[in-house]
Structure 1
Amino acid sequence: MSDSASDHFIAPQLRPVGEPIAAADPQSPDGRSLSSLWLAATRNMLAIAVVAVPVSLSIIYYAFIAADIYVSEAHFAVRSKAGQGGLGVLSENTALQALTSMSASLDETRMVNDYLSSRDAIKKLAEETNFRSLLSRPEADFLTRFPRLPWSRDSQEALYERYSDYVSLELDTSTGISTLRVFGFRPSDPLELARILLDFGEQRVNQLNERAQQDTVTFAKALVSQNRERLKSSQVALSEFREREKLFDPKLQGASTIDLIAKLNFEIARLGAELDEVSVNSPGSPKITSIKTRIDAMERETQKLRNTLVGSEGSLSSRLPEYERLAMDHGLSTKTLMASLAFFDEAVKDTQQQRLYLQRVVEPNSPDYPLYPKKLRSLLLISGFFLCIYFVLQALGSVILEHDK
């Protein structure tokens, strides 16, 4: 073989024994492989299914179907008449009373908010107003009306589940003011419903007032009745003691007895001095016998009076502890009854002065332009959401294909 022929000779590549022969990738008419075409078609179908279809449906919905939603907003707070005074410098007690009143008003405002969001309020709305007809206006679309579809549930529980879509309540704890937002399909609907809900709130506050007044007055009445019975029992026990012992007041009688003993002792001392004088001046005078007789009688009377005070079983000292206990119980019962009567009067006065009331800070407005739906913002959010899903699925598919290779 010549040198020129050897320069153009290429040695064939030898395949090791046992190595499989690689299949040739089929080619499309434009020269691309079928696997790349399949991958591109899959990506296109994924983009259509995940992005194009949902976004197109959203555009159709917001452009031709979505109903206009009007919003009426009102602000209210539950306040107490307690602690309201004239202008001037506030004392520490006044400030403390104001803080306590504000705390109580916040609690009552939370109770009113909870009631307006409860099943009881929804049931009352459905029974006393045209609430259901407001939610199923012809202007409403199939996603916002209640019920959404003809075969959807139209029960009270289903209405409660959708209630937050039409009524919103928020409480600002720093000011104690609640914000009520009502949504409707006509400008007059949310205004009407907001006024009705505020009326319901006022009725609830009045019920709370009546309940608080009833509870306070009932408790005060029970306390007065209990203390009156206690006073009656102590009076009966004291009367039985006096009837049994034939003694009205051992203390008073003891004081009288002591006073009488003192007078007798004074008289005995005077007669003793007189006896000494007569015995010295007239030893044989018959007056001496008379004076001695009087002194002996007074001493016996003094001893008798002393025995009634102490010493014997029926003395005043033995009966005085029981009397003092009964008298003290009677006195405490009297004071307790007077205090409970004063508490009853004060309770009635407080329930009249510390009445809660619902203050409408901002009346419900009459909307003249629909605030919802926010069409452009909603479309952007929907598009961004489905684009994120598309990119995640595309990345996941690429990882799977790389793993298979």
Structure 2
Amino acid sequence: MSLLPALTPLRLKLALIAAPMLLAGVYYTFFAADRYVSEATLTVRQANQESGPLPGVALLLGGINPPSRDDTLYLREYVHSMGMLKRLDARLNLRAHYEAETRDPLFRLYRDTSQEWFLEYYRSRVEVLFDEIASLLTVRVQGFEPEFAQQVTQAILEESEQFVNGFSHQMAREQMRFAEEELKGASVRLRDTKAKVVAFQNKHKILDPTAQARASGVLTAELQAELAKLEAEMRNLRSYLNDDSYQVKGLRGQIAALKAQLDIERGRGTSGRNSDRLNELASQFRDLGLQAAFAEDAYKLSLAAVENARIDATRKIKSLVVIEAPVRAEVAEYPRRLYNLATLFVVCCLLYGVTRLVVTTVRDHQD
């Protein structure tokens, strides 16, 4: 309680208003460095527009898609990433510029700082603002020289363009690579199945067992019809001729030859060595034909998939669109001396008022 007599209104004004204002005035007059701002506005768009319900409108719009919100958000994170900082530092010697300003103790970059602290400092000097409605990205770079701020902003745009082109082309290449690998596999399978068909034909000396079996069936049916006709004629002859007549003997020879030929034709389809049976050859050939047809269909689908992937990859390629290019600032935007001093004065006055109220209340309780 012994401090209360010392807390006079004059001393409170000096301690809470005059001293902070004096220190701030000295800082802003002799130490605060001017910081220039270069600004750019950009967004990410797709190269072409998907076909919609109004093709005429799409044609008039020239195939321009609305900005991609997700890609713009990815770009925002990349601008504030360590990778971007290292690229800018390698191109423009970013650390040396921010370390060169030694007067300002609050906004300078101290030497031998860690890369993590350098990244935090970089993020405080480079603002990246995202417009939720228009999906626009605004990049604001602070520098102690207007030319340097403009150079950094331009470098950020160039690096951002490489980033957008890089990941969009990478996705397109991966999509095309997958489709081409599928096409290559389908081509190999088609070639192998065709080679199996040719090898089967060469091995069995037959072009189409199915067609030959069908022809053999037709021939067998014709032979059976002819045999039935001759047997009917034989019965007719034997009704009025004896078996030793030359007509009956001749007809009997024709019937025997026809039966022998019929047995041969039947044997080709269902008897003989297993590898030479027409029915089994036809079954194997049908299986090979189905495999070849399936491989050909798969090859056609793979061809269509490659073409669709090429069209889709072209449609999905993204590009960086610069809405507002960076310009050289003519007037330093920071520090806002008058605004900061006025704000500090208001805060000091509020603090002084609260302190006076507390001191007065305590004194009243003592009395």
Q: TM-score range by the shorter chain?
A: 0.7 to 0.9
- Between 132-141 and 256-265, report the one with greater CA deviation: 132-141
Q: Structure 1 136/262 Cα, relative in aligned 2: closer, same or farther at 3 Å?
A: same
TM superposition shift of 1:398: 7.7
Q: Distance in 2 between matches of 1:216 and 1:206?
A: 15
TM superposition shift of 1:374: 2.8
Q: Report the AA paired with residue 368 of structure 1.
A: E
Q: Distance in 2 between matches of 1:64 and 1:282?
A: 147
Q: Structure 1 280/141 Cα, relative in aligned 2: closer, same or farther at 3 Å?
A: same
Unaligned runs of 5+ in 2: none
Matched residue count: 360
* Alignment check: 8 A CA contact 1:279 1:288 kept: yes
The percent of aligned pairs where both chains have the same amino acid is 24
Q: Report the AA paired with residue 185 of structure 2.
A: Q
The aligned counterpart of 1:186 is: 145
TM superposition shift of 1:388: 5.1
1:112 to 59, 67, 75: 75
TM-score normalised by L of structure 1: 0.72
TM superposition shift of 1:79: 1.9
The aligned counterpart of 1:90 is: 55
1:268 to 219, 227, 233: 227
CA deviation profile, 1:208-250 (whole Å, cap 9, x unmatched): 3442343233323322332233334434554565566665533
Matches within 5 A, 1:309-388: 309-310=269-270, 314=274, 315-348=277-310, 350-351=312-313, 354-386=316-348
Q: Structure 1 114/38 Cα, relative in aligned 2: closer, same or farther at 3 Å?
A: closer
Q: Report the AA paired with residue 171 of structure 1.
A: F
* Alignment check: 8 A CA contact 2:21 2:345 kept: yes
TM superposition shift of 1:71: 1.9
Q: Distance in 2 between matches of 1:306 and 1:174?
A: 83
2:109 to 143, 146, 155: 146
TM-score normalised by L of structure 2: 0.78
Q: Distance in 2 between matches of 1:251 and 1:165?
A: 81
The aligned counterpart of 1:128 is: 91
TM superposition shift of 1:261: 1.8
The aligned counterpart of 1:176 is: 135
1:54 to 11, 20, 33: 20
Q: Report the AA paired with residue 190 of structure 1.
A: A
TM superposition shift of 1:332: 1.6
The aligned counterpart of 1:256 is: 215
Q: Structure 1 93/375 Cα, relative in aligned 2: closer, same or farther at 3 Å?
A: closer
- Between 191-200 and 298-307, report the one with greater CA deviation: 298-307
Q: Structure 1 265/71 Cα, relative in aligned 2: closer, same or farther at 3 Å?
A: same
Q: Report the AA paired with residue 124 of structure 2.
A: D
* Alignment check: 8 A CA contact 1:67 1:139 kept: no
The aligned counterpart of 1:39 is: 4
* Alignment check: 8 A CA contact 1:77 1:359 kept: yes
Q: Distance in 2 between matches of 1:278 and 1:344?
A: 75
- Between 284-293 and 389-398, report the one with greater CA deviation: 389-398
The aligned counterpart of 1:289 is: 249
- Between 309-318 and 59-68, report the one with greater CA deviation: 309-318
TM superposition shift of 1:169: 1.6
Partner SS for 1:73: strand
2:170 to 198, 211, 228: 211
Partner SS for 1:251: helix
Q: Report the AA paired with residue 212 of structure 1.
A: M
The aligned counterpart of 1:76 is: 42
Partner SS for 1:364: coil
Q: Report the AA paired with residue 19 of structure 2.
A: V
Q: Distance in 1 between matches of 2:242 and 2:66?
A: 97
| Cα RMSD for the two superposed structures | 4.0
* Bigger Rg, which one: 1
Q: Report the AA paired with residue 344 of structure 1.
A: V
Q: Distance in 2 between matches of 1:208 and 1:47?
A: 60
